[in-house]
Structure 1
Amino acid sequence: MNWLDNIITFFSPEWGARREAWRQYGENIRNYDAAGYGNGSANWHVTNQSAEMTDRYSRDTVRARTRDLERNSDMLNSVIGAYKRNVFGSGFSIRAKTGDEKMDEILMQAWKKWCKKQNCDVTGAQSFNQIMRMCVQRKKVDGGVLILKRYTNQGFIPFQIQIIEVDELDMAQIKPKSVGNKVVGGIEYNKWNRPQGYWFRQYDIDGSLQLESAYVDAKDVIFYFTKKRPTQIREISDLSSTVTRIRDVNEFMTAVSVKERIAACLSVFITKTSPPTNMGREAVSGKGNKASYDGKTIAPGMIRELSPGDSVEVVNPNGQSTDAATYIKLMQHMIGAGQGISYEATSRDMSETNYSSARQGMIEDDLTYDEERELLIEVMDEIYETFVISCALAGIIEKEDFWENKEKYFCHIWTAAPKRWIDPAKEASANKIALNTGQKTYQQIAAENGRDWKEQIDETIEVLEYAGSKGLDMGGVIFGNDYRNQQKQSVQGNDRR
């Protein structure tokens, strides 16, 4: 209360109480319950800050804890594995779309060659697919990863990529390279908060001495991370909202494991009657014809005589494996929901699903994975465009109009690896109906199966022609009885003519 209310309350407690009651009523009707500081929210103190101010002081700690769980938690690795399998999986195939079939074939063959580890990786350790899988994992755990374009003479074209962890950004760098820019978190920005360059820490060969930081232009760096707020300029772990819950599960499982191990061990205590039955000096000294149990263990089938008055009490603690299973299942549901994927995707437990529910779960999960694929494809697009420019510099592309029409030569399509069918008969029937009713095109169905539709038609024609040369009709085998009947009717019509 303010000073006026204090005076009123002093002279008239009734009117002071009424004023306070009406004031509290006014607060309740014009505020949100979520903003109240009642019993449930008394210690919930928060502030509104920019994304960078919120993330800056927690970023390194969250990343370190998430990496620790990555090394030691099977539950966290089930989430990471689900994302790796579904976002990148077996990889993407590419088809160049320059409009020149000969040039398309040259580019696709060059890309296939460049994707080998000795050509695409500056370290020569990973192929392009392996690098992309690692980037998906590092983005999920660390929040982001940096892909540097390196122009070397180690491959068949002067272009390779280098993967740098976000730890290598020099947080101590404050002086920008260009006047008017600012350096925040090791990244140099212009007045529009657009990255102009990146400052990386440098070490000597054994890593013990830090050298002067190296500056790399932004055009040669791809920062692969998810931006969730307009003021966010750096990464934060995608798993930040679930790491505490995963750690709770690990601690719970450790406690349950210890308890179950104890429960699996048969232990006994010897209880003695007091006072002892011996008389005289033996009773005082504790000596007599008494059995000693020090160091003794229980063996199967053993028979042992106890001292008079001694009895055995068996220690048999109750386990809680049933409660643990229920608790862990609930936590897996919550962890999966926090990451936008289903319980079945992380636990691989399909005991509570049927075909329809499994399909619905896959559809919802795919919507989550599509967001990650969209970001990953943007990264691969930029890598491919730099690859095409390097092919032109290396003389692989011999076109006079390349530098005037670069966008034409950049055109391409990524095709994801196909997903396995849950029920092939139902999936094939659905595709046939969708094709016959015009709901899907042949190109769409081929793309869903991870195939290029032109290559698929060429292969089908090759099979039919080869089978025909051997006197075998494969049309009915491939296209079914309808095709065979149609061919017979066509032959009969020609004979009548």
Structure 2
Amino acid sequence: MSDEFTDLLAREVAAPPAKALVPAVAGGEVALGAFEGADRFNSTIALWDSPLKSADLEILPEKTTVDGRARDMLRNDAFVQGGANLHKDNIVGSHYLLNCRPATRVLLGKDDDLWEEEFQEEVEAKWELYSDSPENWIDAARTNNFTSLVRMAVGIHLMGGEVLAAAEWTTDDGSPYSTAIQMVDLDRLSDPKDMTGWRWIQSPDQRAGVRYNRRGAPVSYFVRSAHPNDYGPVDFAPPKWDEIDRTKPWGRLQMIHLFEQVRPEQTRGITEMAAALKAMKITHTWRDITVQHAVTQAMYAAAITSELPTADILQRMGGDSPEAAQAAIAAYAQGYMGAVGQYVGKGGIAIDGVKVPRLFPGEKFELKSAAGNGPLGSQFEQSLLRYMAAAIGVSYEQLSRDYTNTNYSSARASMAETWKFMQARKKLIADRFATIIFRLWLEEAINAGDIESAKRFRIYNPPRPGQRYGRLNSNFDALSRCDWVGASRGQIDELKETQAAVLRINNGLSTAEDELARLGKDWRKVYRQLKREMALREALGLQFMATDPATMAAMNALSATPSDEGDSPRG
């Protein structure tokens, strides 16, 4: 058996044919391709040539143009600006709340609800005092509070596809903590250049203002000292760049650069509006033209048209050359309008006080409607707005504020799709940005001894041989674990959706914490307020009908919405 196997291995194998032939089903043609999308002989896509490029080669050469056009649309198009506000309002809302969730098992080796509750309440209270202070301590520019910074980050990400900020250490203005965030314009993140504008590359691993190590991780950022097109007097001094390390030696983050990496080895982000910028501009231009058309129609209530043969008239008047034609037209118009004025002026006919015009022979009278639509109508604009809404990630109804053709089911479906998109963006940008800022503050607060419930934990590893600092360890990761409560999901039918929330809680499918988070509320604060209100009612001897359990059960039963199906359908 082994000899036969050896003979089989030693046997020569014939070379494969040079080209594969399709079975003779349609004449034995040579196979040209398996995908219609790659057909180079189809007249509709023969000229469609899309070369393969790296992510940076696709994005970086055109990023400045795309960013500029996206900002222009946000400045000048109300629908696009409204879509950006929808992102902020549906992701962040009016107050971005911290919900501490420390990993107790990692810290203590067991569950300890008492310590966890103590830590959560202490950290959340002290964080809120600092982050929402009217002095805006959290902002290095002292302009925005924490919620405003997160809203700005969400808006910048929609505009440019990325967010850039620096962690500052301020000690000169009386702030209770030195941690502060400096938002950085994306245009300042660039490679250093000389006065001629040529790139000055310090390292082959440096692109678009970001320097990487051999594994592709960013290690430093080059930030220009001022915007390349800033307002103010012209400065002829050479521009300057500061190279800022991404982290401190012990792991504290110094630069915050967030974007969604669509492809490997992608250095910078690009706005999602890029795919729809052309349609957005066309929509904006079309809307302007439509308004101009309506204004023009409104300016003229009526028009008088003539059926006289213009070409014959010009020829008879000697309009052989352009100069002669121009003179003939002027003479004809002057004489014709004078004759019309004399003729019409004599025709003062009136019926019951209403004047009836007598027209010149060969003329007819047409009334013009100021409400006349453009050549394409409102359906064309709706299709363009749907295209824009898909690019921005919101529903057409939300973008256009048009709910006239929407019922409850379709509105709920569109809101659910928008909610899923907004939750993904919340985790990707808002939560990451907020968590990084919270970690920076928490590290300083623990080192300052301000967190009583965390004094027992060491948040740094011992320094390695030859190193001065030890890095942040898993204890700090466990202490800084958190969620964020953002914008309320919103309710279309409050009765139905409240009943659904109660059913989820009563059947163990959800918690009060989750349901109140959908409303943008902190469950601890709500429960404490309910306790205070109940105590005050008892002290004052107040008894509301809804507080009686039997009455509440009856009200819930009576308020149930009948079904469209089953033994007793509605209607």
Give TM class, smaller chain: 0.7 to 0.9
How big is the shift at 1:334?
2.1
1:291 correspondence with 2:338:
yes
* CA RMSD, Structure 1 to Structure 2 (Å): 3.6
Of 423-432 and 334-343, more deviation after overlay is shown by 334-343
* Partner in structure 2 of residue 250 of structure 1: 284
After TM superposition, the structure 1 = structure 2 runs for residues 26-105 of structure 1, keeping only pairs within 5 Å, are 26-28=30-32, 30-37=33-40, 38-97=42-101, 99=115, 101-105=117-121
Q: Greater helix percent: which structure?
A: 1
Native 8 Å contact 2:91 2:487 kept in 1: no
Q: Deviations over 1:10-48 (max 9, x none)?
A: xxxxxxxxxxx978x4244x3311112321113211101
Distance in 2 (alpha carbons) for counterparts of 1:108 and 1:57: 44
* Partner in structure 2 of residue 135 of structure 1: 153
* 1:211 aligned to which of 229, 239, 243: 239
How many residue pairs get aligned? The number is 449
Distance in 2 (alpha carbons) for counterparts of 1:192 and 1:49: 21
Distance in 1 (alpha carbons) for counterparts of 2:449 and 2:201: 37
Distance in 1 (alpha carbons) for counterparts of 2:31 and 2:161: 41
Q: Deviations over 1:179-237 (max 9, x none)?
A: x7721111010111110010011249856344321011112111122211113121111
Of 167-176 and 312-321, more deviation after overlay is shown by 312-321
Of 219-228 and 106-115, more deviation after overlay is shown by 106-115
TM-score when normalising by structure 2: 0.70
Distance in 2 (alpha carbons) for counterparts of 1:396 and 1:181: 45
Structure 1 unaligned residues grouped into runs of 5+: 1-20, 277-284, 486-497
After TM superposition, the structure 1 = structure 2 runs for residues 59-458 of structure 1, keeping only pairs within 5 Å, are 59-97=63-101, 99=115, 101-115=117-131, 116=133, 118-153=136-171, 154=173, 155-172=175-192, 182-203=205-226, 208=235, 209-219=237-247, 220-264=254-298, 265=300, 266-268=302-304, 291=338, 311=363, 319-321=372-374, 323-375=376-428, 376-397=430-451, 399-403=455-459, 405-458=475-528
How big is the shift at 1:402?
4.3
Distance in 1 (alpha carbons) for counterparts of 2:146 and 2:355: 65
Distance in 1 (alpha carbons) for counterparts of 2:389 and 2:536: 50
How big is the shift at 1:163?
0.8
* 2:529 aligned to which of 454, 459, 480: 459
How big is the shift at 1:403?
2.8
Native 8 Å contact 2:220 2:245 kept in 1: yes
Equivalent AA in structure 2 for residue 31 of structure 1? A
Equivalent AA in structure 1 for residue 125 of structure 2? Q
* Partner in structure 1 of residue 550 of structure 2: 481
* Partner in structure 1 of residue 565 of structure 2: none
Of 196-205 and 476-485, more deviation after overlay is shown by 476-485
How big is the shift at 1:63?
0.8
Native 8 Å contact 1:158 1:394 kept in 2: no
Relative contact order, CA 8 A, sep 6+: which one is greater? 2
Equivalent AA in structure 1 for residue 130 of structure 2? W
Native 8 Å contact 1:402 1:409 kept in 2: no
Equivalent AA in structure 1 for residue 406 of structure 2? T
TM-score when normalising by structure 1: 0.80
Residue 46 of structure 1 aligns to a residue whose secondary structure is coil
Distance 1:22 1:197, change over 3 A: farther
Q: How high is the sequence identity, in percent, across the aligned residues?
A: 21
Of 382-391 and 333-342, more deviation after overlay is shown by 333-342
